[in-house]
Structure 1
Amino acid sequence: MKTVVATLNAKYIHTSLALRCLKAYSEPEFMMEIAEYTIKDPTINIVTDLYSKQPDVIGFSCYIWNIEETIKVIEMLKKIRPELTIVLGGPEVSYDVTYWLDRVTDADYIVVNEGEETFKHLLETIRDGTPLKKVAGLAWRKEGKAVINPPREKLDLKNVSSPFRFEEDLSELSKRVTYFETSRGCPYSCAFCLSSIEVGVRYFDVTQVKEDLLFLMDNGAKTIKFVDRTFNIRRDYALDMFSFLIQNARPGVVFQFEITADIMRPEVIEYINEHAPKGLFRFEIGVQSTNDAVNLLVQRRQNFEKLTRTVTMVRDGGKIAQHLDLIAGLPEEDYSSFRKTFNDVFAFGVEEVQLGFLKMLRGTGLRLTAEQHDYVYMDHSPYEILGNNVLSFQDIIRIKQVEDVLEKYWNSHRMDHTVKYLIASAYSGSAFDFFQQFGAYWEEKGWSRIGHQLEDLFTRLYSFLSEHHLEHLQTAEALMKYDYLLHQKYKPRKAWWPAALSKEETGRIFRYVTEQPDSGLTEKDLYKHGFLSEIQLDIELLTKHDTLSNTPHYLFAFYNPKTREPEITFIPRDAVTVNSVQPKN
């Protein structure tokens, strides 16, 4: 009996931990082939590939992001292989099981909740012809009616095999994200989250965990993302794991964790700040809302003062990148309240702020009580809200405009100096107002419906400022030039702004540069690897929050061919005069 376990990942770089757990648990009794695709792959291509494997059983791992595309694959497969046994599993089909049995009529079985033991038991039942009613955690049809067997006891995680020792995975470790779990379950009961449904936290064997991590690093894994819902729930455990990773880290490896910030002990952060190399760790922190009344409505306990302490200590330590999550649309959080939440979080100045929208996931407490807040939401995945009693659809549209330009202009870090200046000077510190107004302008111009190159981001912001903030345009333009040149690895062939310097003036400035003490550069070097522009402000003073100088300056960027890093210099115009620098013979 040939078995294939398959899924449609959101991106190629993602890997499915679930498929590998199923394979590790069932082998060697049942040999399985893993088949991974993406939601962007044409359905016919996926079906063709699965058909070519000639399986008897295919198990699909289903999530909110892939369920609709997976159903298309299943329907097509059943048309060409009616005898094929189709099994669904995963969080998207583990709740409201009767609905899925009725909707996906081409699926033969649904594995409910944790899948390793149930899926293996189902395969044994199919092979041996034993009664399906004995397979705990299985849903199926009998005479056209849904049958949902009693749930299965939770798996003892300390006695499961490693899902990371498959030879076929090793060549891809350096190219893709490796998902890793040291525990399952969550101690909290947030009403919008599926993790809150499982009570308690179970841990894998710590010795096996460490052996797997060493194995992955030794075989080239570069990005290892822990999927534990609250990695730091046990302080001693978290500290031990952080210490182990610091001591055994390989160059270029990054570990990502989901952290509950308000329970993070200062001594743990101090230890990381003191001992970890920069860039080794990345923290994802779910803030969701800074409105205490809103958090209480979704059974979320959060001490914002302690969260602030953690985020600030991590930021100031300079070792760990932070990604802070927000959810728009929580109960009783209107537009004004969410604006405050956004500004509270953006003010931390962390590397990434993720603005998401509430999804009414099947099985969550918030979906069950949706009528209490007049929620309107999508019938199909991703079940995103369209409005509620305090947040209109128009409000949601406006917040989506914030999300669009936030991703392009902050989370991408293409214009940090420019964005910080504009928020502070033109919007009195309200990041939300800047992104919202610019986002509305972006939508009005129709740019959300067309693609963009890097240069477009600069010219479109310049257009916005020309129409709305002319008084800040000169300073912003200087900073935009600085940001643009700062993020190039090679001398740009052209810039987004028109060239203004003559050949004579360029030559005069380059000769000035070569004559500076310790320059070590020739004019040939500068013409080949240097880029020059005129600005009207002293950016060195501006970036230090000092007084501004409106005398003309030159912005000179030299792209070192050895380091691939730009070396940017500000040259006062009055230092370069016709009389002070003479052409060389």
Structure 2
Amino acid sequence: MNILLIMINALNSQYPPIGQYNIVDYYKKKYPDRDVNFDVKVFSKLNGMKILSLLKSKKYDVVGFGCYIWNLSSILPFCRIIKKKFRDIALILGGPSITYDEDEQLELLRKGFVDFLIIGEGELTMMNIINKLYLKEDIKSSNIKIEGAVYKSKNNEIIKNLRTKDNIVDLDEVVSPFILHDELKSYYKKFGVVYVEGSRGCPYKCSYCAGSNPFFRCKDNDKIVDELKTLVKKGYSNFSFLDGTLNYNIERTKTLFKKILKEGLNINIGFELKIELIDDELLDLMKKVGVNNLEIGLQTSNTKTLKLINRYHDEVAFSKNIKKIVNKGISSVIDLIIGLPGEALRDYFNSLNYCFNLGNLNITANLLKLLPNTKLYSQKDIYGYEIDVNNLNKVVLSNTMTKEDLIFSQRTIFVIRRFWSMESMKFKNVIRNIVNEKFQGDFAKFIIILTNHIFMSNHVQDVLSMKSKEKIEYLYKQNLSNSNITNQNKDIG
């Protein structure tokens, strides 16, 4: 049996096919003697001609696509083309964008253009499907159930098999693909990072996040350390944890870092954390173990919005611990989401000022993306959301933000990155002085004026080519200040 697993990346992204390799490795571990061969292919975009040529060159029995918000809209119509040319191929769609109840996906099942949808984790469900096909069992008979799979029965009924806790993989059995597949070294050489899975899902239930897995669990700390040791021996040294919240259990995180230190591993580590859940001991361990990149999810400083999206926030602990991180000199980025429920443009600007006042942290702002299988996705009509399915499901309209507001906020993202987040601490101190002297400490107003000036003057390409010193000269040359605002009609609260 020949199986082809395909990963189609987002534009300007080359994320390694970790999920596909996990499926391959888990199956081979469980059934090492079966004559089942896997190919994993990665494309920078959906190239129909190349994929069809690939299918002609080798007789594949199964083809699986990993579906995400950046590729779903191109994969779904392509399934029709594949099935018209290769009817005997079992076509399987999995990934975060595959759901139990999307009309277009179910319609492909009904018409026979797709054979199976896999909802949620893929290792066990894919293994079970492959085994049924391998043994030539009548997989679509009414007495066969494959948890996590959706398919059409013989009488054309859509069978939806929900996943239970008995159908999730033990993370201690999942080995890093970077250990088993040397071809992934090319990703490391290009992007300089190895992704490590210390847990799966997230213990929190933020309404916008697809990581809110009801079967959250962790890999054993000793297993993680053993993997890191093996990866270091293979020449890797920079690691990023895929965990939604690595420090959800502060004592477990301390133990993990102590074990890494005991092994004497000379590595760099990055991860997402809940900033409220650190203390001085953990902070010291983070510095010693080589933590050099932290991602801190604020999303918004608006407490009402945080409640709407089911996100807990302790403002006092948040501010206190952020300042500790800054003082330790650990590079950190704080995340904001534009367009959350009930938020207007002024709420985003208030959040910008809140972040600026915390210290010289990098700030990353992104438009809200409505992800399938999330609570907020099911609430899109309540908040008047319209999304662009051809652009990562980004919100383009809501009850509280106009299309013009969201376009303008998208422009500010460019300016924040170029004149703040991608720059050095020294550069940030210069900007801070400008903001304090000319804008009375109002960072958002500075960003608004600078954004309008750059885009109204058609200076975007000029800014893209500017070095740090040239950016500072540009700011002083334009003589931007709070007193020379013209045609500023943005409500900043």
Instruction: Give the TM-score category using the shorter length.
Output: 0.7 to 0.9
Q: Deviations over 1:192-251 (max 9, x none)?
A: 11222x235312233322211111121122432211111111112101222233444655
2:9 maps to 9
Percent identity over paired residues? 20
Q: CA deviation at 1:418?
A: 3.9
How far off its partner does 1:423 sit? Answer: 1.9
Structure 2 distance, partners of 1:434, 1:441, is: 11
Give the residue type in structure 1 aligned to 2:129: L
CA shift for structure 1 position 265: 2.7
Distance apart, 1:72 and its partner CA: 5.8
Give me the TM-score of the superposition, normalised by structure 1.
0.72
CA shift at 1:420, angstroms? Answer: 2.7
Aligned with 2:254: secondary structure? Answer: helix
Partner of 1:204 in structure 2? 219
Name the residue aligned to 2:316. Answer: 305
Q: What is the 5 A alignment of 1:28-43?
A: 28=32, 29=34, 30-39=36-45, 42-43=47-48
Q: Is 1:179 aligned to 2:218, yes or no?
A: no
The 5-angstrom pairing of residues 560-575 of structure 1 reads none
Deviations 1:145-202 (A, max 9, x none): 5332243434241552414332433643632432221112222111111222x23531
Alignment match of 1:425 (pick from 432, 437, 443): 437
Q: 2:381 aligns to what SS in structure 1?
A: helix
The structure with higher relative contact order (CA 8 Å, sep 6+) is 2
Q: Note the C-alpha offset of 1:48.
A: 3.8
Cα gap change, 1:470 to 1:361, in 2 (>3 Å): closer
Please tell me whether the aligned partners of residues 118 and 136 of structure 1 are also in contact (alpha carbons under 8 angstroms).
yes
Partner of 1:19: 20
**Paired residue for 1:141, among 149, 152, 162?**
152
**Of residues 262, 268, 271 in structure 1, which corresponds to 2:285?**
271
Quote the residue 1:552 is aligned against. Answer: none
Map 1:202-281 → 2, pairs under 5 A:
202-248=217-263, 250-251=265-266, 253-273=267-287, 275-277=288-290, 280-281=291-292
Aligned residue among 43, 60, 68 for 2:65: 60
The 8 Å contact of residues 266 and 310 in structure 1, kept in 2 or not, is answered as no
One-letter amino acid of the counterpart of residue 416, structure 1: K
1:76 Cα deviation (Å)? 4.7
1:192 match: secondary structure: coil
CA distance in 1, matches of 2:168, 2:384: 39
Alignment of 1:399-548 (within 5 A): 399-413=409-423, 415-448=427-460, 454-455=465-466, 462=473, 465-469=476-480
Q: How large is the Cα RMSD of the aligned pairs? A: 2.9
Match of residue 354, structure 1, among 360, 364, 370: 364
Q: Distance in 2 between matches of 1:445 and 1:75?
A: 46
Counting only pairs closer than 5 Å after superposition, residues 72-87 of structure 1 correspond to structure 2 as: 74-87=79-92
Q: Write the deviation string for residues 382-421 of structure 1: whole angstroms up to 9, x where unpaired.
A: 2222232322222222211210111222222164354233
Match of 2:106 among 86, 101, 105: 101
Contact preservation (8 Å) 2:246, 2:271:
yes
**AA at the equivalent of 2:107:** D
Q: Which amino acid aligns with 2:236?
A: A
Q: Deviations over 1:297-326 (max 9, x none)?
A: 1111110211112211111011x2111110
CA contact under 8 A between 2:202 and 2:216: conserved in structure 1?
yes
Assess if the C-alpha contact under 8 Å between 2:147 and 2:167 holds in 1: no
Identify which range, 84-93 or 5-14, moves more after superposition.
Answer: 5-14
Deviation, structure 1 residue 380:
5.1
Q: Which residue of 2 aligns with 1:576?
A: none
Q: Offset at 1:291?
A: 1.3
2:355 and 2:361 in contact (8 A); partners too? no
Listed one character per residue, the Cα deviations across residues 396-454 of structure 1 (whole Å, up to 9, x for unaligned) are 22211210111222222164354233222222222222222211222223345x58653
Q: Which moved more, 1:121-130 or 1:363-372?
A: 363-372
Deviation at 1:65, TM superposition (A): 2.2
d(CA) in 2 for partners of 1:108, 1:419: 56
Distance 1:244 1:103, change over 3 A: same
Counterpart for residue 502 of structure 1: none
Quick one: distance in 1 between partners of 2:43 and 2:414?
Answer: 27
Whether 1:364 and 2:374 are equivalent positions in the alignment is yes
Instruction: Give the unaligned 5+ runs of structure 1.
Output: 473-585
> What is the CA-CA distance between 1:361 and the residue it aligns to?
1.8
Q: Which runs of 5 or more residues in structure 2 are unaligned?
A: 484-493
Give SS of 2:382's match: helix
Deviation at 1:351, TM superposition (A): 4.2
> 1:88, CA displacement in angstroms?
0.8
1:87 and 1:109 in contact (8 A); partners too: yes
Cα distance in 2 between the residues matched to 1:240 and 1:183: 15
Instruction: State how far apart, in whole Å, the 1-side matches of 2:14 and 2:272 are.
Output: 19
- 1:121 deviation in Å? 0.6
Cα contact 2:275–2:318 (8 A) shared by 1: yes
Contact 1:174 1:222 survives alignment (8 Å): no
Q: Work out whether residues 170 and 219 of structure 1, in 8 Å CA contact, stay in contact via their aligned partners in 2.
A: no
Whole-Å Cα distance in 2 between the matches of residues 372 and 111 of structure 1?
28
- Offset at residue 118 of structure 1 (A): 0.6
Distance in 1 separating the partners of 2:50 and 2:438: 51
Give the SS at the match of 1:307: helix
Once the two structures are TM-superposed, the CA of residue 117 in structure 1 deviates from its matched residue by 0.7
Tell whether the 8 Å contact from 1:285 to 1:324 is kept in structure 2 after alignment: yes
CA distance in 1, matches of 2:462, 2:52: 30
Which residue is equivalent to 2:491? none
Instruction: Check 1:240–1:356 CA distance in 2 against 1; reply closer, same or farther (3 A cut).
Output: same
CA-CA distance at 1:289 after TM superposition: 1.0
| TM-score, length of structure 2 as denominator length | 0.85
Larger Rg: 1
Aligned counterpart, 1:190? 206
Match of 1:116 in 2: 123
Aligned residues: 465
The one-letter amino acid of 1:166's match is L
1:371 partner SS: coil
Contact 2:124 2:169 in 1 (8 A): no
**Structure 2 residue aligned with 1:321:** 331
Q: Secondary structure of 1:373's match?
A: coil
8 Å CA contact 1:47–1:76 kept in 2: the answer is no
Q: Helix, strand or coil for the counterpart of 1:326?
A: strand
Instruction: Say if 1:14 and 1:178, in contact at 8 Å, map to a contact too.
Output: no
Contact 1:12–1:37, Cα closer than 8 Å, also in 2: no
In structure 2, the residue corresponding to 1:19 is in which secondary structure? helix
Task: After TM superposition, give the deviation of residue 108 of structure 1 in Å.
Answer: 2.0
SS of 1:290's equivalent in the other structure is: coil
